[in-house]
Amino acid sequence: MIPLDEVPDDWLVVSLDGIGAPVVGVEKIEEGEECLRALRALEKELGVKVDALISAEIGEANSMEPMLTAAEAGLPVVDGDGMGRAFPEMQMCSWPIYGHREAPGAMAEEKGSIVVIRDTPDDVWLDRISRSVVVAMGAAAGLATNPMRGQFVKHAAVPGTITQALNLGRAVLEAHATNADPVETVIRQENGKLLMTSKTADLERHLKGGFAVGHMALEGFGAFQGDKGRIDLQNEFLLFRRNGAVEVCVPDLIVVLDADTGLPIATEMLRYGQRIAVLCLPAHALLRSPEALAVVGPAAFGYPDITFTPMGGS
Amino acid sequence: MDPITTIARADMADVAQGGAFLGTGGGGAPHVGRLMAE
């Protein structure tokens, strides 16, 4: 792994991630070289070799994809990513937000199909075309995009997020080993805030256009007895409302944990009746700028009347 | 100082766990990728 500020300016860095519906990924296990084949296809399209890999998003499965492919290809992975969390669409990454074109891109799936997208009118179209392709590929594929120079990556990437994930994961696993409170550990480690402890009273979730979309209704317990909560989701959690009023929204991160174990619960693992702890963690400053909010703020997810107000921390 | 730091096999569980928190909600579980990377 190479620290972000140590990446040579002239290095060619490619953004890697898996694309598809998380719900499908539970049952359709990846073959393991999807991103490697996408990387090789992109190199063939460009006619050059790539120097390093970076994650489009540090959250969930895509925290692993660049490291898996880096190990397979013998390349370094950069300590940073394009979101500092996870978002559902490709243009919601700091590379296009700060001026880099995502195309060309290459996609590959486990059966051997490879699709190269040479160019698109804009980055939203790259996401649309990729979504159509990934549906044909069985809703899960590897994706290589954004051939970027190191000079750009150094100012556009959220820095240090692999190290952040490593330290957070280590702290939580240590909390489990020592019977410490894992929820409190996450809040302390990430300057987060506990929004609610609650029971999932209703859950509406379906697949739409390759995304898991819906909402969950929450009934507070403990210190939050009597509160009614609601979380809207599109793969990731978008909004948290308490008693009808929006308290937290994208790009700040809404985290749903099992209230007893402190382990995170992915969208596809949400169930009626679960006892959960809802936290929020602050987004990196790169995602709170006006140009970023135009792409990852509430209006970008269909909430034009909601204004982003940064969470204040604990 | 060599700027490239090695992520060891023993670190993968920590990174995967941390990634699960930072991506809670969507993005699929990191544990299959972790096992493959290991």
A169 and chain B in contact, CB less than 8 A: yes
Q: What are phi and psi of A251, to 5 degrees?
A: -90, -5
- Between A198 and B35, the more confident residue is A198
Q: Given pLDDT bands bounded at 50, 70 and 90, which one contains residue A268?
A: confident
- Computed over every residue of chain A, the mean pLDDT equals 92
Report residue A226 as tokens.
Answer: 């009597």
Q: Is the pLDDT of residue A247 over 60?
A: yes
Inspect the interface and report whether the beta carbons of A64 and B15 lie closer than 8 Å.
yes
The pLDDT of residue A314: 40
- Between A27 and A278, the more confident residue is A278
Question: CB within 8 A of B26, min separation 6: which ones?
Answer: A22, A59, A60, A86, A88, A212, A233, A234, A235, A236, A266, A267
Q: Given pLDDT bands bounded at 50, 70 and 90, which one contains residue A55?
A: very high
pLDDT, tens only, A128-185 = 999 999 999 998 899 999 999 999 999 999 999 999 999 999 999 999 999 999 999 9
Instruction: Indicate the residue of B14, B15, B27 with minimum beta-carbon distance to A22.
Output: B27
The pLDDT of residue A12: 98
- Find the mean pLDDT for residues A185-212: 89
pLDDT, tens only, B1-38 = 455 688 989 999 999 999 988 987 666 778 888 888 88
Q: Homologous superfamily of A182-313 in CATH? A: CV3147-like (2.40.390.10)
pLDDT, tens only, A80-114 = 999 999 888 888 999 999 999 999 999 999 999 99
A285 and chain B in contact, CB less than 8 A: no
pLDDT, tens only, A24-34 = 777 788 889 99
The pLDDT of residue B24: 78
Q: Domain map of chain A by residue range?
A: 2-159, 182-313
Residues in chain A: 314
* Cβ count near A10 (within 10 Å): 9
The pLDDT of residue A267: 78
Domains A2-159 and A182-313 share a fold: no
Q: Is the pLDDT of residue A56 over 70?
A: yes
Task: Tell me which residues of chain A, numbers 36 to 75, contact chain B at a CB-CB cutoff of 8 Å.
Answer: 57-65, 67-68, 71
Kindly list the residues from chain A whose CB atom is less than 8 angstroms away from the CB atom of residue B12: 64, 67
- Find the mean pLDDT for residues A292-303: 95
Environment class of residue A222 by beta-carbon count within 10 Å: exposed (0-12), middle (13-18) or buried (19+)?
Answer: exposed
Distance (Å, rounded) from C-alpha A94 to C-alpha A296?
10
- Find the mean pLDDT for residues A28-47: 94
With CA atoms as reference, report the closest residue to A70 among A16, A18, A109: A16
Inspect the interface and report whether the beta carbons of A169 and B16 lie closer than 8 Å.
yes
With CA atoms as reference, report the closest residue to A256 among A275, A228, A282: A275
Inspect the interface and report whether the beta carbons of A236 and B34 lie closer than 8 Å.
no
Q: Homologous superfamily of A2-159 in CATH? A: CV3147-like domain (3.40.1610.10)
Q: Is the pLDDT of residue A273 over 90?
A: yes
Q: Is the pLDDT of residue A209 over 80?
A: no
